[in-house]
Structure 1
């Protein structure tokens, strides 16, 4: 982690969080994970996603929104709050729509690409991703099967793996991840 003071609050890392599929469980996963005050104390977060979907997920979970909102084009290293939504309001995926779709795939691909660009530009220190729909990505014409391959391609990495961390358990997958069902 770089520690130049330009993109940190109290020398905390800035984590980019991609919202995942707007018509899937991504918004709910992000809201519930970041609703934990202990998580929010550990870092500053920039959510690459849609405010409308996150607000809907928060309302359904009876969680008071805890984030600031900025247009994604205006996100810089000096965003003044702990949790910010880099809002992509140009995408229209109504909250009541569920399941794979081309618009949801296009949006979730854009969230990932922009998070990668932000990491490469040192606006954020790390990226974590919420679930996407491989079907939505296919409908949107993605050239990658998922996040891992997109990151490897964009970063020109020959060796890469998907990794999960939960408490003391750290797991890197040796094979490609396939959903059991959508």
Structure 2
């Protein structure tokens, strides 16, 4: 079996990302795990939590080698200032973005098979003067993609988002026929290409309570969402269901029959997903020219340095990433 090269970014250096990566190094894996981070930071964390860690700088020209327990391949990227667990430092924001840029460039060049990202702290990055709304938007801009779609997945449920990191007051204006057409087309294509689903079934939530209640609670459903779904149902070899009220869209008898639920905004879809699978969920960016996944949690600044960070989400994300790589190779 061909060995995949999976590049992991460590995320916020003061958070739990480096600890999770050191703990992941102690687990078996059939593929090559490469980390883009400051080697001194990884060794520092390994020493603090008393776990063995050997690091080898990656030779990109060499063939991928399977993971060895207690060892990681590393692409060095130097911190601007030493990191202290739980204490954010604006001066290290550029380092975080540098690791993401390196990862994206290597994936675009085909030198790694996928990117798995650790959690970052959007607030401190923006406080430092660097514009950053999230991994999804960063990778889209880096790749020159006009549009990408955020998906979170756990056992038995995939949720995709029409809008991502927008203030709630801006969401309604963002829901346009053009946006929905673009988002659903990406979802349809990626479910076929990345997930090997030949005829996707997509459940679409309404924007308003009760999906507008026959225009008594808003008319975006009748004016925008329903007509767009009707057009796409004629054009795509897939099934679009909705718009349905979001408060009943996630019932088992509905989600068991579809391949993803499309929510209109971030907090419409993700609370249910995270309630169902927090700690065993994965974030996937659809529409990029490469595979990009992520953990489903934040930086955990309150527990950083305590040696209690759980690696469940990273393990699930890694397994999910490996599955996507194999599906891509088979197709």
CA distance in 2, matches of 1:126, 1:105: 23
Structure 1 match to 2:172? none
Deviation at 1:61, TM superposition (A): 2.7
1:56 pairs, out of 41, 44, 51, with: 44
1:46 to 19, 22, 34: 34
Please tell me whether the aligned partners of residues 37 and 77 of structure 2 are also in contact (alpha carbons under 8 angstroms): yes
Number of positions where the alignment pairs a residue of Structure 1 with one of Structure 2:
164
The answer to whether the 8 Å contact 2:16/2:300 transfers is no
Q: What is the aligned partner in structure 2 of residue 12 from structure 1? A: 3
Give the corresponding residue for 1:120: 108
8 Å contact from structure 1 (residues 23, 93) kept in 2: no
Question: Larger RCO: Structure 1 or Structure 2 (Cα < 8 Å, ≥ 6 residues apart)?
Answer: 1
Q: Report what 2:206 is aligned to.
A: none
CA RMSD across the alignment: 2.8
The equivalent of 1:25 in structure 2 is 16
What TM-score, normalized to structure 1? 0.75
Report the structure number with the largest CA radius of gyration: 2
Q: How many Å separate the matches in 2 of 1:122 and 1:180?
A: 29
- Maintained 8 Å contact 2:120/2:299: no
Output one character per residue of 1:41-75: Cα deviation in whole Å (capped at 9) or x when no partner. Answer: 2x11221101111112222332210432x2xxx75
Q: SS at 1:15's partner residue?
A: strand
Q: Are 1:22 and 1:107, in contact at CA under 8 Å, matched by a contact in 2?
A: no
Structure 1 residues 57 and 181: CA distance shift in structure 2, 3 A: closer
The whole-number CA distance in structure 2 between the counterparts of 1:94 and 1:84 is 21
Deviation at 1:77, TM superposition (A): 3.5
Higher fraction of helix = 2
Which of residues 80, 84, 91 in structure 1 aligns to 2:73? 84
Structure 2: give runs of 5+ residues left out of the alignment: 166-265, 268-297, 302-331
CA contact (8 A) 2:12 2:96 kept: yes
Give the structure-2-normalised TM-score: 0.44
2:15–2:300: 8 Å Cα contact kept in structure 1?
no
1:27-176, aligned counterparts within 5 Å? 27-37=18-28, 40-41=29-30, 43-68=31-56, 70=57, 75-78=59-62, 82=67, 83-89=72-78, 91-96=79-84, 98-165=86-153, 168=155, 171-174=158-161, 175-176=164-165
In the aligned structure 2, how far is the partner of 1:13 from the partner of 1:119? 12
Instruction: In structure 1, list runs of 5 or more residues that go unmatched.
Output: 1-9
CA distance in 1, matches of 2:10, 2:16: 9
2:26 and 2:15 mapped to 1: Cα distance? 19
| Separation in structure 2 between the aligned mates of residue 33 and residue 137 of structure 1, nearest angstrom | 26
Q: Deviations over 1:86-106 (max 9, x none)?
A: 1123x2332435332222211
